[in-house]
């Protein structure tokens, strides 16, 4: 039987979602827990996507197949009893054998948080501590340029090799909460460093180091990608995955 789990994690002490030899990763912790639950059988976990080292998730999704008789509630409890404290499964459901956590995902939402107020050591792993004022109005205008279908090759890691760099952004906006500036992006998919590079570009606009209109200029001329800064990982969260009902 195939199951879909929704879970959150504190990415501070993980080397990303995808398992890597000799590294502490979210995927490997899930598979270790399922090994014990599934009568000591190797169980492959398929995530909705990857997050990088230090990136957090509020609603990550994954599917796996196990062949034991267990209720959804007991499976959730068993997972949480075996997982480390920085991962928590909050939803378990049975899905069809054809369901795929990655390929069936229709929308993904990421958010990025910057603190423009007093330095907060407690939040240093969860909010980028810039601690200076930004021109939020300019950033709010420019973020709209990301909405739509675009070739995002200039906004991804140079090591990312794809046949197709085209992605659609359904919504992109900025909210303010006290001294925090929060960036939101909802799209049909994101590539490595894409969100951090988009925020990094807006961040430079907010600091007065780039002018309005630079996003469309970069879309039209890849040589202008040199203006992009990959912002720090600490403020990035995978907030939500959406599937068709």
Is residue 137 part of the annotated active site? The answer reads no
- d(Cα 58, Cα 60) in Å, to the nearest integer? 6
pLDDT at 107: 97
User: In Å, how far are 25, 56, 83, 175 from 31, measured between CA atoms?
Assistant: 10, 19, 10, 37
* Domains by residue range for the chain, with CATH: 2-95 (3.30.70.580), 107-243 (3.30.70.660)
Instruction: Residue 94: name the closest of 180, 207, 1 by CA.
Output: 1
Beta strands in the chain (DSSP E): 2-9, 46-47, 56-65, 87-95, 105-115, 128-129, 148-151, 166-177, 180-187, 236-243
pLDDT at 188: 96
Given the residues 36, 52, 171, 221, the one annotated as active site: 52
pLDDT the model gives residue 163: 80
Looking at residue 245, what is its pLDDT?
65
User: For 155-158, which contacts have Cβ atoms below 8 Å and span 24 or more sequence positions?
Assistant: 155/193, 155/194, 155/197, 155/198, 155/201, 155/218, 155/225, 155/228, 156/191, 156/192, 156/193, 156/194, 156/197, 157/191, 157/192, 157/193, 157/230
Is 106 in contact with 168 (CB distance < 8 Å)? no
> In this structure, what is the dihedral angle of CA atoms 44, 47, 53, 57, given to the nearest 10 degrees?
-130
What integer pLDDT is reported at residue 190 of this predicted model? Answer: 95
CA 212, CA 60: separation in Å to the nearest integer?
Answer: 33
Q: What is the pLDDT along the chain (245 residues), one digit of tens a residue?
A: 999 999 999 999 999 999 999 999 999 999 999 999 999 999 999 999 999 999 999 999 999 999 999 999 999 999 999 999 999 999 999 999 999 999 999 999 999 999 999 999 999 999 999 999 999 999 999 999 999 999 999 999 777 777 889 999 999 999 999 999 999 999 999 999 999 999 999 999 999 999 999 999 999 998 999 999 999 999 999 999 999 86
């Amino acid at each position: 039987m195939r199951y879909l789990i929704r879970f959150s994690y504190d990415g501070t002490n993980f080397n990303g979602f995808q398992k890597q030899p000799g590294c502490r990763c979210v995927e490997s912790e899930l598979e270790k827990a399922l090994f014990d639950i599934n009568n000591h059988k190797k169980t492959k976990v398929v995530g909705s996507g990857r997050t990088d080292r230090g990136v957090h998730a509020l609603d990550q999704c994954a599917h796996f197949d196990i062949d034991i008789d267990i209720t959804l509630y007991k499976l959730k409890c068993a997972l949480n009893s075996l997982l480390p404290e920085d991962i928590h499964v909050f939803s378990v459901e049975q899905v069809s054998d054809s369901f795929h956590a990655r390929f069936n995902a229709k929308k993904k939402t990421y958010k990025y948080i910057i603190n423009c107020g007093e330095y907060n050591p407690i939040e240093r792993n969860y909010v980028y501590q810039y601690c200076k004022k930004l021109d939020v109005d300019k950033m709010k205008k420019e973020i709209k340029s990301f909405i739509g279908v675009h070739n995002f090759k200039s906004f991804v890691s140079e090591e990312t090799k794809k046949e197709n760099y085209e992605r659609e952004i359904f919504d992109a906006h900025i909210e303010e909460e006290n001294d925090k500036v929060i960036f939101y992006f909802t799209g049909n998919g994101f590539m490595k460093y894409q969100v951090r590079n988009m925020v990094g570009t807006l961040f430079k606009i907010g600091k007065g180091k780039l002018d309005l209109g630079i996003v469309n200029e970069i879309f039209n001329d890849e040589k202008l990608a040199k203006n992009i800064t990959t912002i720090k990982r600490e403020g990035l969260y995978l907030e939500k995955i959406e599937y068709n009902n």
